[in-house]
Amino acid sequence: MAINIGIKGLRGLFPEYYLDMLYEIYTPKEVDLILKSYLVGRRTTFRINRLKKGSDKTLEELKRKNIKVDKSTCFKDVYILKEKQERLLQRLESYRKGYIYMQNLSSIMPAEILDVNEKDKVLDMCAAPGGKTLKLSEKMNNKGEIIANEVNKIRYERLNFNIEKHGANNVTTLNLDGRKLMNIYKEYFDKILLDVPCSGEGTINIKNTKKLKLLKNGPFIKVQRELIQSAFATLKRGGVMMYSTCTISPQENEEVVNYLLKKNKDADILPININIPNYKKGAIFYKDKVYDERISRSIRIIPNEFMEGFYLCLICKK
C-alpha cells in the first residue's frame, strides 16, 4: 500500500544526523529526490545472462507471458519491468535455467565499469550473492581466472549456487576473510572488484511511517579500511581495483579511499566515464575534513526510481 506523505513528513522519518549528512553532500533539490526515491522504491531490473546458451530466447518468453519490459538505455542486455511482476519473472523457464539474473542497475555498474579481459586474473573479494562476479565472467567470455571470495558461510553457499546455475565456469570460490588474502595473493591480480559490506544507506525503502533506525557506520569503517588495504596488496603493479558501496556516508566512501591514498604512495585514482544523469563527483570536503583532491574522480550515484545510491571509485597501482 502506498504511503501518502509530503516531503516535510518524509524528512521527519529520518534521524537528524542523517539529514545533516545529506544536506552537507547534496543540494536541497537532490536531497528531496533522494528521500522521495526511498519512498517509491526502485523498479525491478534484470540482466539476460549471455554465459548460457539459449538465453537469446528469453525475450520471446517474456512476450509470450505478457511480461512488459523497457530496455535499459545504460547497459546492454538489461531490462526494467514496467509493472510489479517479479513473481511472474521468477516462474519463467528462462529464470529457472539461469538465463535471467535480477540485479539493480547501480549494482551492475561496478563490474560494468571495471575493464576486464580474457587473460586477466580477477578477484571479487566480497562476492556474494554473485551478480557482479557473473557480469565479470560474462565480460571475460568465461575465460581467464576469477577468484570469488565470501567470508559468510551462508552467503558463500548462495554464491556457489548462483555461479553454478548461471554457468560461470572460470570462477573459483573461496570462503575466507578477505583481510587475510593479502598474505596469500601478494600482487597477484590484474583487476579487483571490492564491493565492501556497508550500512546500506543507498538502498533504503520506506514501507511505513515509523521513524527509521539506520545502521550505524562505525562497525563497518574499520573493516572497510582493512579490506581495501588487503585488496590493494593483492593488486599487481599497473592493475586496477574498483571500490564500491551501496551507502551514502562519506566515512564509508571517500574517507576509506583517502585512508588508502595516505598509506600507499603508489595508489592513484582513475576517472570514471558514465552516461547517466543522476550522479555527481566524489566529495573532497565534508564538514571539517578535506580529502585528497583526486577523490573528485570517483562518483556518487544519486538514488532514484531506477537506481540505488552507490559510490564507485577506480583505483590503480602505479
Residue-wise over 284-311: b if at least 16 C-beta within 10 A, else e?
Answer: bebeeeebbebbbbbbbbbbbebbbbbb
Marked catalytic residue, from 74, 246, 313, 316: 246
Annotated binding residue at 132?
yes
178 marked as part of a ligand binding site: no
Residue 126, annotated ligand binder?
yes
CA dist., res. 78 & res. 104, Å (int):
10
Active site residue 246: yes
Q: Is 115 annotated as a binding-site member?
A: no
CA angle 249, 252, 258 (to 5 degrees): 115
Q: Which three cell numbers stand for residue 49?
A: 545472462
267-270 and 121-124: which strand pairing?
unpaired
Q: Which three cell numbers stand for residue 76?
A: 546492454
Query: Rounded distance, CA 203 to CA 242, Å?
Result: 20
Q: Is 131 annotated as a binding residue?
A: yes
At how many degrees (to 10) do helices 28-40 and 16-25 cross? Answer: 130
Tell me whether residue 157 is annotated as binding.
no
The reply, when asked if residue 129 is annotated as ligand binding, is: yes
Name the DSSP class of 269.
E
Are the CB atoms for 232 and 268 separated by under 8 Å?
no
Residue 128 assigned ligand-binding role = yes
Q: Is 77 annotated for ligand binding?
A: no
Please report, in range form, the residues annotated as the binding site for S-adenosyl-L-methionine. 126-132, 150, 177, 195
Binding-site members are 126-132, 150, 177, 195
Catalytic residues: 246
